[in-house]
Structure 1
Amino acid sequence: MSRHLDILPVDPHDPGAVLPALEEAIGGRHTYLPVPAFDSTRTELLRHSQRAGEPIDDAVALVVATSGSTGTPKGAQLTPENLVTSADDTHQRLGGTGQWLLAMPAHHIAGIQVLVRSLVAGTEPLCLDVSQGFHIDAFADAAARLSATGDRIYTSLAPLQLNKAMETLAGIDALRSFDAVLVGGAATDPKLLSAAEKLGINVVTTYGSSETAGGCVYDGRPLAHTRVRVRGGRIHLGGATIAHGYRNLPGHEAFAEPGWFATSDGGEIRDQRLVVTGRLDAVITSGGMKLHPEVLEREMMLIDGVANACVVGIPHPRFGQAIVAAYTGTAEIPELLDGLAHLPRWQVPKDVRHLDKLPVTGPGKVDRRAVAKLFEA
């Protein structure tokens, strides 16, 4: 038996309005494709690529699109078991159910899971209007309202949101009020994590994706129903939260082994914790040497005055690819280069751009292709 895949528009002014539809989905009564309500280009791309309106296996609750940072978005087919297990395991790891503050777009998996966790816990989420971005005053006000309930309270943020909140006293006080602040979607500046710890903010770093129903590895350790292994330097995730393949790419090699998802990330196990070294499809080969851009980005973000960084490779007639970098913050380019002087010479960027902000393609995810175009131009 099958049903049809229906579009679920998510209004950034009122993301909580989709709660009844999500309840239908995790109850096994409907299958939805969440899309941003006022982004007609993205909606049409997803409608076409995910075959909205056509039949779909009734075991699927949601088709959640990837960010599409490397091309056409893939559609992870998530079942009620995937979504509910993820929510239950999150609450178990955090110490119990509580009330959630949604501060991220609810058509991405991180935002969707804030709503699903609320449904599973039987609590009412407080949802911010994110149509005009992330505003500290609204975030702080919402945190104060949740704190007044006396319940455990949680939120989920992108690294850029955490950084913005920590720039003000109101934001810091708000962050402190949460029993846990989940941070994922992109690598987090180690300086930021250290500062948060010193300020008494309980940041929990998460690793996962649409294909795993959201974060499934917290602070390097898998959740209860998640398994982790590293083969040939590639991270594989397994367990009850793994999607049933891609809607638009049946038979994809990432799901070749039942119950497992082969990620595009490199990693290793250190002291029984998963350490993500970087995306394998973003590795830069320059003069025969290979570099995970995330390695150099972490070095850049250790420099005072560097807020965020993106390292990419662009075509070069002699090296194959030239290593280039863009960053934000108060540091000047000579200061940045001085801070990288300890690295092997071949790893130092051949060109550097100081930007007001980095282009993004999802909540906190830098658009590497857009950055590369800045240099190729």
Structure 2
Amino acid sequence: MREVWLDGPETIEELKGTLAEALAGGPPVLPLDARDPSAGRLRDAMAPGEPVEPGTAVIIATSGSTGEPKGVLLSAGALTSSATATHDRLGGPGHWLLATPAQYIGGLQVVVRSLLAGTSCTVLPPGPFRADQFAEAVSGMPRSGGPHYTAMVPTQLVRLLDAGGAGLEAARTFDAIILGAAATSAALRERAADAGVRIVPAYGMSETASGCVYDGVPLDGVRAEVEPDGRILLSGPVLAHGYRLRPELTAESFVDGWFRTSDEGVLSDGKLAVLGRLDHVINTGGVKVSAAAVEGVLTGCTGVREACVVALPDAEWGQIVAAAVVVEPAGAADPSGLRAAVGARLGAAAVPKRLEFVEALPLRGPGKINRSAVVSRIFP
């Protein structure tokens, strides 16, 4: 496999070249974030010295819903099927602005779409999202030769709407802005419509080569079903063909041509509504954070006896990470030290925005933490 360590526009150009080769049958690509302290762990978990599963063009390394590193195997066919179906749904090939990190599937697909369309791919500078930088990048996009698109997470759109000015004016120039990686609330839909910003909420994941259901309607070739327990199933040419060196997980997740998601949903009149996660994953600003992984870091800190991590609703982030922590009687744990430990191990998105010390965690049954009571009693 060919590793591409991403840290700016220059490395996106490198990624474009290696992606083009991979889509044509060349070595598979493993994109990684050079600025992420956990990227080395993800890279090692992908076993770069071992042969790559046949038919793989891209490996998306992710911690997934369990906090355990895994690599999603995507073929050239899955990536191109997704890109083509996206262009067909939006209104044809066009110019793209890369506004999210390309080591994630949402950003990588922006690069794939521009490659297949033969159009430009403008890149936002690295670092925290800023409305002024967004406006400057949009001003540098070609103004002719097809529609203009971008893909972002809801948190980025909220910041553009809050900032107003040049950033919002730039957002209005797009023919479509795909919103993915987190749910788009009814309030955000209304704000975008009132501001004249054309959004397309999307649902999908690495295992479906990015968004595969747009505004509730599956892309061409994609099917969605819901099991009796509410679990969403997805099928079609966009599916990954498994996980890197994880045959058991592959067999469990990909069954008879269907991908068994960890999400709950309902189907009505052919439209899919996603209700939330079946497991305990916090989707904050478009980044999925495993509550169990954060709890593991916290309880590994000196002086911490127990920890429960939950999601709290938030207008800007969609959800935020909140932690209730029980310390030893003589524990010397402090909030800043605990947050620093989480950030160093799991990245900034996993750092609890709210952290409360408590004498005990509410329990349900024989020692099982009552998570709903944690939310209602500790974070009302």
Report the residue type matching 2:79 in the other structure: L
State TM-score, norm by structure 1: 0.76
User: Are the equivalent residues in 2 in contact too, given 1:49–1:248 (CA < 8 A)?
Assistant: no
Shift of 1:144: 2.6
User: Are the equivalent residues in 2 in contact too, given 1:184–1:215 (CA < 8 A)?
Assistant: yes
Q: Which runs of 5+ in 1 are unaligned?
A: 285-292, 325-345, 354-377
Residue equivalent to 1:134: 129
Shift of 1:323: 4.5
User: Which residue of 260, 263, 268 maps to 1:262?
Assistant: 260
Shift of 1:149: 2.8
C-alpha spacing 1:61/1:76, structure 2 compared with 1 (3 Å):
same
Shift of 1:150: 5.5
What SS does structure 1 have at the residue aligned with 2:25?
coil
Q: Distance in 1 between the 2:38 and 2:270 partners? A: 40
| 1:349 aligns to 2:349 (yes or no) | no
Q: Distance in 2 between the 1:307 and 1:45 partners? A: 26
User: Which residue of 231, 236, 252 maps to 2:233?
Assistant: 236
| 1:221 aligns to 2:267 (yes or no) | no
User: Are the equivalent residues in 1 in contact too, given 2:177–2:200 (CA < 8 A)?
Assistant: yes
Q: Distance in 2 between the 1:231 and 1:69 partners? A: 20
Shift of 1:322: 4.0
| 1:163 aligns to 2:209 (yes or no) | no
What SS does structure 2 have at the residue aligned with 1:56?
coil
Shift of 1:129: 1.2
User: Are the equivalent residues in 2 in contact too, given 1:311–1:323 (CA < 8 A)?
Assistant: no
Q: Taking every aligned residue pair, what percent have the same amino acid on both sides?
A: 41
User: Are the equivalent residues in 1 in contact too, given 2:82–2:210 (CA < 8 A)?
Assistant: yes
Shift of 1:67: 4.5
Shift of 1:71: 1.0
C-alpha spacing 1:312/1:59, structure 2 compared with 1 (3 Å):
same
User: Which residue of 14, 18, 23 maps to 2:20?
Assistant: 23
State TM-score, norm by structure 2: 0.75
User: Which residue of 73, 81, 86 maps to 2:82?
Assistant: 86
Shift of 1:142: 2.1
Report the residue type matching 2:220 in the other structure: A
Shift of 1:46: 1.8
User: Are the equivalent residues in 2 in contact too, given 1:102–1:156 (CA < 8 A)?
Assistant: yes
Residue equivalent to 2:144: 149
User: Are the equivalent residues in 1 in contact too, given 2:42–2:62 (CA < 8 A)?
Assistant: no
- Listed as ranges, the matches of 1:279-290 within 5 Å are 279-282=277-280
User: Which residue of 31, 35, 40 maps to 1:38?
Assistant: 35
Q: Distance in 2 between the 1:204 and 1:52 partners? A: 36
Residue equivalent to 1:289: none
Report the residue type matching 1:171 in the other structure: G
Residue equivalent to 2:4: 8
C-alpha spacing 1:19/1:98, structure 2 compared with 1 (3 Å):
same
Residue equivalent to 2:276: 278
What SS does structure 2 have at the residue aligned with 1:277?
strand
Shift of 1:192: 1.4
User: Which residue of 65, 72, 83 maps to 2:68?
Assistant: 72
Q: Distance in 2 between the 1:323 and 1:81 partners? A: 42
C-alpha spacing 1:79/1:283, structure 2 compared with 1 (3 Å):
closer
Report the residue type matching 2:181 in the other structure: G
Runs of 4+ in 1 over 6 A off after TM superposition: 311-314
User: Are the equivalent residues in 2 in contact too, given 1:323–1:350 (CA < 8 A)?
Assistant: no
Q: Distance in 2 between the 1:138 and 1:283 partners? A: 31
Report the residue type matching 2:234 in the other structure: L
Shift of 1:348: 7.0
User: Are the equivalent residues in 1 in contact too, given 2:242–2:254 (CA < 8 A)?
Assistant: no
Deviation track 1:144-189 (CA, whole Å, cap 9, x = no partner) reads: 3326335310000011111111112222211110000000101223
What SS does structure 1 have at the residue aligned with 2:97?
strand
User: Are the equivalent residues in 2 in contact too, given 1:16–1:127 (CA < 8 A)?
Assistant: no
Q: Distance in 2 between the 1:127 and 1:166 partners? A: 21
C-alpha spacing 1:280/1:122, structure 2 compared with 1 (3 Å):
same
User: Which residue of 200, 205, 216 maps to 1:204?
Assistant: 200
Q: Which runs of 5+ in 2 are unaligned?
A: 283-309, 325-360
Residue equivalent to 2:118: 122
| 1:248 aligns to 2:245 (yes or no) | yes
Shift of 1:110: 0.6
How many residue pairs match? The answer is 311
Q: CA RMSD in A?
A: 2.5
Of the structure 1 ranges 250-259 and 197-206, higher mean CA displacement relative to structure 2 is found in 250-259
User: Are the equivalent residues in 2 in contact too, given 1:12–1:36 (CA < 8 A)?
Assistant: no
| 1:61 aligns to 2:57 (yes or no) | yes
Shift of 1:59: 1.0
